Structure 1
Amino acid sequence: MTLNQPLLSAQRIVIKLGTQVVIDLAGDSGGRFATERLAELTRQCAQLVAQGKEIILVSSGAVGLGRQALHLTGTLSLNDKQACAAVGQNLLMEAYRNLFQQSGLITAQVLLTATDFADRKHYLNLRQTLEALLKFKAIPIINENDTTSTMELQEESYTKGFGDNDMLSALVASKLDADLLVILTNVDGIYTDNPFTNPNAQRISRIENFQDFQKIEASGQSLLGRGGMSSKLEAARMAALSGVHTLITSGVSPQPLEALLAPQPEPVGTLVLPQASFLSGKKRWIGMASGYHGAIVVNAGARKALVEKQASLLAIGVVGAQGDFFAQQVVRILDETGVEIGRGLTHFSSHEIERIKGLQSEKIADRLGFDADGKVLERQEIVHRDNLVIFEEYGV
């Protein structure tokens, strides 16, 4: 068995194309669609379809194409970016349609918002549609609907939708039971440091345990895109929670999907292995929720109890809240250094948490009084164990 056997045996493959793969920034192109590069990539996709594999593309690039078409420069407002997305989506799909048509394949545009994953009815309808497209051997081309959803376009937001197409691709791979997620970027994998600034940075060919990720310097992001290498690590981690292999590799190389088409001693790029223990349906939704609403910061004692003792999160271990959120929303759980240790469904709003942080559980009712129904408040855990996902338990 070759080291890239998981790539060769994958039947359903989600391929994410970053902005710097889709847009040509070289020379005087001015940020146009990278036709020659994408022609090779779509040809290889057609080869995979001919082998009986199912291909789903998650493509960035609409805002960049729209910016170029509208001759816009400088800093864009949120409304400007939405206008660019509206113009660029049409150009992006037309370019893909022409390229895939050369191989006799039909494309289908699928624009998503966070609600399409967060709402179960929306998700089931989406899944049925995508399953039908794959049955007809069409190529779904997915992007966040930036014209109506602003989450990807906002520079900073505690309330996060997809945030970038890296996370969107991980959610698609998870929800559609994909065998493999391929993230194509302008770097040939994950490095120990930024390879553009540190010539001694070493490429990591294989990641089996996410415990080592804190040692990786993954800062920085692309010129036109929103997602840096850290977002790709996050996407790979979320895919691993659902049992999906992830390959992070270069999309600007001559044959970006070569590792999927032929046996090789070692796949080019970084192969991230899925974990042996998978989450239940409810915890998978919490751990991979298409949106999270702020964060709860915990002290060292609470971190230890959550990670080592599988405890619920209590008010006495809470340092504070970040962002605005309500009860029964998914939030990130951060330690005091800012490291995300998990996610959970909170019993309290951010305003309530600021009032009860550091308290003994039995004193919460005295501080908050009555609930919305006029009854004495009985909630005690900030996040109950049944509604909590701690990443280290799953090796991620």
Structure 2
Amino acid sequence: MRIAIFTDTYTPEINGVAKTLQRLANYLERSKIEYKVFAPESKTTVPEVPHIQRFASLPFLLYPECRIALPNPVQMKQSLEEFKPSLIHIATPLNLGLYGLHYGKKHHIPVVASYHTHFDDYLKYYHVPFLQKWFWKYMFWFHRSVEKIYVPSQSTKEKLTNISFHDELEIWGRGIDHSYYTPIKKTDEIRRKYQIKQRKILLYVGRIAPEKEIDIALNTYETLPLHLRQDTHFLIVGDGPQLKLLSEHNNEQITFTGFLEGEELAKIYASSDLFLFPSSTETFGNVVLEAMASGLPVVGANAGGVQHLINHGENGFLCEARNVKGFSAYTALLLDDNDKRYRFANNARQFALTQSWDEIFSRLIRSYYDVVKRNVKRFSA
């Protein structure tokens, strides 16, 4: 089997889609399954890799982590004719995906797609909700001829099923490298670097943007009981359009670190006490699983993909979306009760240990094979 992957975001860009696709590529490499990735050029210089073909691109207005590629049809056609894919996987329905869809239909190559982001939910946060009608019109048109659509969580599947989006929706979950995100990376180095004097560290990791509802996280911290607020430092890790404005605060107990990755991020997770994640627009919630693997209980929104990761009252608490009172109450409960927090932390780690990337990708490959076999039968009948 030879798999052609079309995506408008890929490493070194940092987001859930790019990370997942890179892990998929690594798995295909280890499994000796041939693949080729068609992706936009990055805003940072990256070395050329034989399996990745990049194209000039521009940032996507509403979500700069995705880039609008300017593909060269002649070059792409030549690459695909040489590669001879047996399956095309479209991860994003923009320019590159359009070409992959066209090529697959023209040459009777089965095409699957994956749905990663609730862009329709994002539109209201950027004050353009009137675009939802056109967004869904385009999404229905784009996906009507694909064989199958992979979704990250049960809630995403239910959302798309309720609008009769496609007849074949299959859950393609996410895993975690629990040897990389681990409690053993806890270190006092984080306290020294960010001059943290308080005994407890509350953590948020994610995009600093309206759709992540970072305002709920800040309000949650500000409404904690005084004794807890005085004893807790709030670390906010990430970059995004709201970073400059929000970081101009005068609270010495709130630190915006900016974008972090790698070992430093893993150490921050492990060195914190509690993870706060109010976003209700997640299709999965990768950072929640990273936090759990690092031994952190999570207070999150009872919405989207996050609700499937948190077992309420066991490894964290689920709160009504945008309900600051609820977020504040559960955050205070776990900050104030060390025994409960430690028990939840252990449960969170144990849950993360069950989320294996290899098992998830193995299921995906079996699904790929089923699609290819079905296509062969169809055109040989």
Using structure 1 for the length normalisation, give the TM-score: 0.27
Name whichever structure is richer in helix by fraction: 2
* Higher RCO, 1 vs 2 (CA within 8 Å, ≥6 residues apart): 1
